[in-house]
Structure 1
Amino acid sequence: MTKATSQLDLSALPPASRRELVDFYEFLLERRTRAQKVAPPKQSFTDLCGKLTWKGDAVASQRNLRDEW
């Protein structure tokens, strides 16, 4: 039982409901910690900064791409 679980006042509930509620609370905590560990890395394009050059008219290229649709 976690520290936060022991601080809950569940005395008004029957024992079976208390156990079920505590189990569900611990399940949610476990799911949250597991999701934080599996979080995908954020994309970073800082390694490309200053290395790409554009030779041409950016607006004309954008219009060509737009007109393809």
Structure 2
Amino acid sequence: MNIVLGIFADKIKDQLDSAHLSYDEKEISKLQKIADSISMLRIHGYITDSIGDKAYNRLGKAIQGAIK
């Protein structure tokens, strides 16, 4: 399962629904807010691309943990 993260990506919830996966809705809602925050910080230059990539990698692991 590939989850696409970034400003133009579909919402995490929508990606998981289309893959027919069950997940902790409250946790995925929180993780979506974090993903949106990372995107905004990258776009506006508050974090570098390498730091953003590391943050997205950590987020990916958290998403995997929220999938039941």
TM-score range, shorter chain: 0.3 to 0.5
Larger radius of gyration: 1
The one of the two structures with greater contact order (alpha-carbon pairs below 8 A, sep at least 6) is 2
